Structure 1
């Protein structure tokens, strides 16, 4: 396959798509701030002529499935080397590895069976819509010195992956996903959308994404923000080292 062919995808009309959306996949933790920003963008697409409807879809237990399968993968990948890692290594890897050691083969098998069921649940969604929209992550950007959010709207998170539930649940089911920048929120921080398509419909999903980019570009509020390169170059070069130190301290 020639990957360059994806550079010439035409953007179809927005009206050609039946668009479903969900804010939280049936109850995943998502901050009120993210919900509001997402709703503004869905409303904008409706104003531009899109056919949009909310979809009932429960992927709440996909988070546990992801955690189990992630631990299994980490044990496979790191079991030969992990005893030689020191405390400067990513503490998240240690945490996932330790989870794997305490997980039974039966629990992993049950997670894989549930993964299949969740895949089928999502697959049926596309009997009624062409594409599914959802927020990208559960919280707005947070200080880089934090390993991960400790809470979402005051509710503690279970582990370092919990705030990524909106993406990890889609990793579990495996349908094609593209993430798009969708402007800035009221505080000047970036906002993103995830677009999910049916299996093996990557081409049409990318066409839809290109269509959305065009519509968002017409709005000063929703157009993709362009990073200020000069400001980035003037930032503190110690961020990487300080961030690693802060992450290790937070994990411990």
Structure 2
């Protein structure tokens, strides 16, 4: 892939307002709480104040959620897998689940995840030939109680695993 037309350092030293902004509330990947989506939509639309065209669209992230689940499970198993033998009784059940998921992933699943990751990379490169900014939420849920280990719902929908909110 060729380098960007304008080097990053020069772009920072000579900033220009974006001309085309893409907004997506959820990257077409998963759920986002309606409150979070509304706040982010309002923020994205503020780019119109500097003359940017704001469109609701996003790159093709097909297979992204599955690739994330697979590659994350492998990472967790690689980094924390030894805890199941030494400290299993001290490890949270959701971490045990994720380690075991990573330990049981097949080579074919890894290949599929890597192919999806490569396709997403190329989709993003093509997307940014048209859009200057992709605005989207960085969290799926509003703040939740500090004593709650992880979100269990997005809006009215119950989540099935502890990483579904990510």
User: If the TM-score is normalised by the length of the shorter chain, which range does it land in?
Assistant: 0.7 to 0.9
Q: Does 1:25 align with 2:27?
A: yes
* SS, match of residue 117 in structure 1: helix
Give the structure 1 partner of residue 161 of structure 2: 159
Contact map agreement 1:139 1:163 (CA 8 A) in 2: yes
Deviation at 1:84, TM superposition (A): 0.9
Give the structure 2 partner of residue 42 of structure 1: 44
CA RMSD between the two structures: 2.2
Give the structure 2 partner of residue 98 of structure 1: 100
Deviation at 1:127, TM superposition (A): 1.5
Contact map agreement 2:58 2:134 (CA 8 A) in 1: no
Give the structure 1 partner of residue 3 of structure 2: none
* SS, match of residue 141 in structure 1: coil
Deviation at 1:81, TM superposition (A): 4.2
Name the TM-score, length of structure 1 as normaliser. 0.55
1:122 to 118, 121, 124: 124
Contact map agreement 1:21 1:134 (CA 8 A) in 2: yes
Give the structure, 1 or 2, with the largest relative contact order (CA under 8 Å, sep 6 or more). 2
* SS, match of residue 163 in structure 1: coil
Q: CA 1:41 to 1:157, structure 2 compared with 1: closer, same or farther past 3 Å?
A: same
Contact map agreement 1:63 1:162 (CA 8 A) in 2: no
Q: CA 1:118 to 1:63, structure 2 compared with 1: closer, same or farther past 3 Å?
A: same
Contact map agreement 1:142 1:149 (CA 8 A) in 2: yes
Which digits, 9 at most, give the CA deviation of each residue in 1:11-42, with x for residues without a partner? 6232x443222111125201111111111112
Give the structure 2 partner of residue 57 of structure 1: 59
Q: CA 1:18 to 1:163, structure 2 compared with 1: closer, same or farther past 3 Å?
A: same
Contact map agreement 1:38 1:135 (CA 8 A) in 2: yes
Aligned partners of 1:123, 1:117: CA distance in 2, in Å?
10
Aligned partners of 1:34, 1:21: CA distance in 2, in Å?
13
Aligned partners of 2:93, 2:14: CA distance in 1, in Å?
43
Name the TM-score, length of structure 2 as normaliser. 0.80
Q: CA 1:157 to 1:47, structure 2 compared with 1: closer, same or farther past 3 Å?
A: same
Aligned partners of 2:89, 2:82: CA distance in 1, in Å?
17
